[in-house]
Structure 1
Amino acid sequence: MKATLSRGAVSALVVAALGFTAAGCGGKGDSAEGKERPSPSKAAAAQADKPKKAAAGALSAAQLAEVIVGKGDVAGYKFEAKAKDEILNLNMPAKPEACQAVADMFFFGTQPEAKASLGRNITPAGKDSTDANYTSLVLLSHEQADAEKVIGDLRTSVEKCGGKYEHLEMKYDGVKALPAPEVGDEAVSYRVSGDFDGDKMPMFVTVVRSGSTLVAASTLNYLEPEKTEVPAEVIEAQLAKLKKGA
C-alpha cells in the first residue's frame, strides 16, 4: 500500500497494533470465530481483506488455526482472537531505510508478505495475578526460504537501524537487540519505544522461526513498563504445538 495516510488513520493503526482496545476491555475468549472489532480505518480494512495465496511449504490459514496456542495450552493466561486489522502489511517506507524490517514487524508485517497469518492477544489470568504484561502473538506463514530471509533481514535491521526511526509520521527510538531465546530454528529479540500522546512506552519483541513459520510476539506493560517481558512459556508452548501439528 503506497498511498499517504492521514494522521488520524496513522493513530488508529498504531492503536490497533499496540492492542490498546483489546487490553482495555474483555472479549469472548479463545474463539477465533468470535466477532471482530470494527476496522480502525479504511486502509486497515482494505489490507485485512487482501487475499493471500498459500504456497508450497507454507501453512494455510486453516492449518494455522489448528496449531496456534489457545485456551488450556498455557496455564495462567487468557487468550483472545486477534482481529485481522491488527496484522498489517502496510509496505510504507521507514526512515532510515535500514529500519524497514523493524518498522514492518511493529504491525506484524514482513517483506515478502506472509501467505497466511493468525494471531492471539494474551493477558495473564487469575484473580491474584499482578502481571500487567500484554502480549500479541502472531503466526506468519511463509515458504521456508522467505521465512529465513524475513528473520535474517529483521536481525540485520535491528543491528543497523541506529536506535531510532520514523514510520507513518510516528517517531520510535530505543531500538536495541536483546538476548534471543535458544528455541526453534533461529530467533531474534529486541526492544523499541514509541511516544504515544506524550507517554513513552517500550515494546519487547521476539520472533522465532520454526521451519517455514514465524512466531512473532510483542509485549507491552501498561502499568509497569520496566517489567515488560515476552512470556517464554507462551513462546515455548506455541513452538511445541506448531511442531506437533506439523
Structure 2
Amino acid sequence: MKSALGRVLVGIGVTAALGATAACGGQGTDEKDSGSKKPAAKATPAAQEGLKPLTEAQLTKAAITKADVKGYRVGNTPDDEIPEVSVPAKPATCQAVADMFLLGTEPDATARVSRSLTSLTQTDGTLLRMGLLAQKEADAKKVVADLRTQSQECNSYEHTDYKYTGVKPLKDPGLGDESVSYTMTSDIEGEKFPVTYSVVRSGSTLVVFYAMNALGGKAPEVPAAVMEAQVTKLEKTV
C-alpha cells in the first residue's frame, strides 16, 4: 500500500507529466590579463557558472546505501514519485519551496537520483527521503538562496490542489558549502502531516533530505547521521 506521501506524489506526477524541459550549458574560460592598464576582462557567463553538473552515473555512485547508514533500509524512489516538471504554486513567491517538495528546482536539475530510507529500529512514523540533484554551480547557489529567502517569507501556499501552512526556517545544519533547513505542515487528502527539509549544497550538487511524520504531531528531524553520511560520501566520490 502506498504511503500518503506516495499517493500525493503519484497524483502530482500525472499532472507534471504533461511537459518537460531540460537545462543545458557549456564551460568557458577567462581571458588572461595582458599586463597593460586596460580593464580586466569580465568573466563570461559560462565561467561564472563555476563547476559543471555531475552525471547521473556519478550521482548514483555517490548515493548512500544501507552499508553507509547502519540501521536503515535504503531503496530507490519510484520514478513516478519524482516528477520532472514544475507545477505553479500560489503565491508564486513560494515556488522554490513548492518545487522542492517534488525534488524540483528552477533552473531544472540536469540529473537526479533519489533514495527512500526506512529505519529498522524506530516506530515513530517518520518517512525519510534523500535526493541528489545535479546543477551548474551558479544554479545550485541560486536554489539555496531562494529556499533561504522563501522559508523566511512564505508562510503558506497552495500547490496542485493541496495546502501547505506554517512554513518557517529551522537551524542551519552547517554541512557542505552552505545549507538551509525549514519545516511546514502539509494537508494531504484532509490529513495534516508535519514535514522537514534540509538542503545542502556541495559544489554544484544539491543534497536534499526530507522527513515526514506520517502519524502527525510535531515536526520530525532529519537524522544528523544520515545527512553527514550522505554529504561525506558525495564529497569523497566526486
Q: How high is the TM-score relative to the length of structure 1?
A: 0.78
Q: Which residue of 102, 124, 138 maps to 1:145?
A: 138
Structure 1 equivalent of residue 233 of structure 2: 241
Q: CA separation in 2, counterparts of 1:236 and 1:192?
A: 23
Q: CA separation in 2, counterparts of 1:68 and 1:98?
A: 31
Give the C-alpha shift of residue 53 in structure 1.
5.6
Q: CA separation in 1, counterparts of 2:124 and 2:193?
A: 16
**1:107 matches 2:99:** no
Q: CA separation in 2, counterparts of 1:96 and 1:213?
A: 27
Q: Which residue of 185, 188, 206 maps to 1:214?
A: 206
Contact persistence 1:54–1:116 (CA under 8 A): no
Give the C-alpha shift of residue 136 in structure 1.
0.9
Contact persistence 2:17–2:84 (CA under 8 A): no
Cα distance 1:52–1:201, how it changes in 2: closer, same or farther (>3 A)? same
Q: Which runs of 5+ in 2 are unaligned?
A: 28-51
Give the C-alpha shift of residue 55 in structure 1.
6.3
Give the C-alpha shift of residue 195 in structure 1.
1.5
Give the C-alpha shift of residue 19 in structure 1.
3.3
Structure 2 equivalent of residue 180 of structure 1: 172
Q: CA separation in 1, counterparts of 2:223 and 2:79?
A: 23
Q: Which runs of 5+ in 1 are unaligned?
A: 1-14, 23-37
Q: CA separation in 1, counterparts of 2:102 and 2:237?
A: 26
Give the C-alpha shift of residue 224 in structure 1.
5.2
Q: CA separation in 2, counterparts of 1:211 and 1:243?
A: 9
Q: How high is the TM-score relative to the length of structure 2?
A: 0.80
Q: Secondary structure at the match of 1:243?
A: helix
Structure 1 equivalent of residue 148 of structure 2: 155
Give the C-alpha shift of residue 123 in structure 1.
1.1
- Whichever residue aligns with residue 203 of structure 1, its letter is V
Q: Rg: which structure is higher?
A: 2
Structure 2 equivalent of residue 19 of structure 1: 6
Q: Secondary structure at the match of 1:241?
A: helix
Contact persistence 1:16–1:85 (CA under 8 A): no
Q: Which residue of 112, 125, 128 maps to 1:132?
A: 125
**1:229 matches 2:221:** yes
Structure 1 runs (4+) deviating above 6 angstroms are 49-52
1:33-48 equivalences under 5 Å are 42-45=14-17
**1:197 matches 2:182:** no
Q: Secondary structure at the match of 1:225?
A: coil
Structure 1 equivalent of residue 115 of structure 2: 120
Q: CA separation in 1, counterparts of 2:11 and 2:24?
A: 22
Give the C-alpha shift of residue 39 in structure 1.
8.7
The percentage of counterpart residues that share the same residue type is 43
Q: CA separation in 1, counterparts of 2:178 and 2:24?
A: 25
Structure 2 equivalent of residue 71 of structure 1: 66
Q: Secondary structure at the match of 1:192?
A: strand
User: Cα RMSD (Å) of the superposition?
Assistant: 2.6
Cα distance 1:79–1:86, how it changes in 2: closer, same or farther (>3 A)? same
Structure 1 equivalent of residue 159 of structure 2: 167
Give the C-alpha shift of residue 86 in structure 1.
1.8
